[in-house]
Amino acid sequence: MDWRKTKTIFILTFLVLNIFLGAKILDKREKSQLELLAEASTEEKFEVDEITYADLPKAPSKESYISGSSYVFTDDDVKKLMEEKGQEVKRIDETTIHAEWKEPIALPETNMTSKLHTIFQDQILFADQYKFWGFNPVSNTLYFFQQYDGKHIYSNSSGMVTVQLNELGEIVAYMQTYITDLEEMDVEQDVISVFNALENLYNSGDLRSRSHVSHMELGYYTLLDNTNSHVLIPTWHIVINENKNLEQDFFVNAFEGSIIKKDNRTLE
């Protein structure tokens, strides 16, 4: 018997065995860590992924679908705007009007939102039903969304006012639609918490590591949008900032938790 060869075989055998056992231990450790992560609470997962969020808003435990109809602008509406407000008005169709001011209206550099609401109260039909939503610097357009029960009706072309600015930042024209006869439709249903909505965005991969959730608000989103009839569902609007130049708007069904829509906004 060649003892030197036998010794080499034993050494190689023990080396292979050690490598095998080491791999099994590492695999078991990794599986254990994954199991711990799976068992971790959502708050702990957010902490690990460095996800932060603003104060969570309170919401009613139950809400209902709401319905309404597109308002039909009358001849009297058009006449009032033209004669009393000095606007040039035309109907794009029976539910949409476009108006231009004969003289541009300047906006101040400060307290612009307050000035806008003052202009609205004096110049636009149903002014108290709209609230400022945002500004698009590319199209130089201001957006105002209609509200119901103090909540925004999100991204609904049938319930909004778009205000056009000129190159000097002066108000020159607007387009308006309005939803009338808004009312609750049926028996109230349970509303998921905004944290549950964030959890769904995280599980879907839309809420990523190192993101900050800067805004959360309950409103309504169009579920059914016919020519004159509208059905809207309670919806969480969630704004996620992945970096300083990008905001993402997410709209999450407040009954089922599914993602209805997401939009990207580039910040200038």
Confidence tier at 107 by pLDDT (50, 70, 90): confident
Separation CA 15–CA 9 (nearest Å): 10
Mean pLDDT of 232-244: 88
Is 179 found in the same domain as 97?
yes
Tell me what the pLDDT averaged over the chain comes to: 83
SS3 6: helix
Is 74 found in the same domain as 15?
no
Is 227 found in the same domain as 134?
no
Is 162 found in the same domain as 78?
yes
Residue 226 belongs to domain with CATH number: 2.40.128.690
Is 109 found in the same domain as 144?
yes
pLDDT given at position 184: 93
pLDDT given at position 37: 46
Say how many domains are in the chain.
3
Mean pLDDT of 213-231: 86
Confidence tier at 35 by pLDDT (50, 70, 90): very low
pLDDT given at position 256: 92
Is 191 found in the same domain as 177?
no
DSSP string, 212-265: EEEEEEEEEEEEEE-SSEEEEEEEEEEEEEEETTEEEEEEEETTT--EEEEEEE
Give a yes or no: residue 45 inside a domain.
Answer: no
Q: What is the pLDDT of residues 12-21, one digit of tens each?
A: 454 544 554 4
Q: What is the pLDDT of residues 56-96, one digit of tens each?
A: 998 888 999 999 999 999 999 999 999 998 899 999 999 99
Structural domain harbouring 173: 69-183
Listed residues 183, 215, 245: the one ending a domain: 183
Closest CA to 169 of 117, 105, 87: 105
Is 102 found in the same domain as 147?
yes
Listed residues 127, 152, 183: the one ending a domain: 183
pTM above 0.85, yes or no: no
pLDDT given at position 137: 85
Give 166's contacts (C-beta < 8 A, 6+ positions apart): 104, 140, 172
Is 189 found in the same domain as 179?
no
Listed residues 183, 206, 225: the one ending a domain: 183
Mean pLDDT of 249-258: 93
Is 212 found in the same domain as 106?
no
Confidence tier at 40 by pLDDT (50, 70, 90): low
Give a yes or no: residue 235 inside a domain.
Answer: yes
Is 175 found in the same domain as 74?
yes
Residue 84 belongs to domain with CATH number: 3.30.310.160
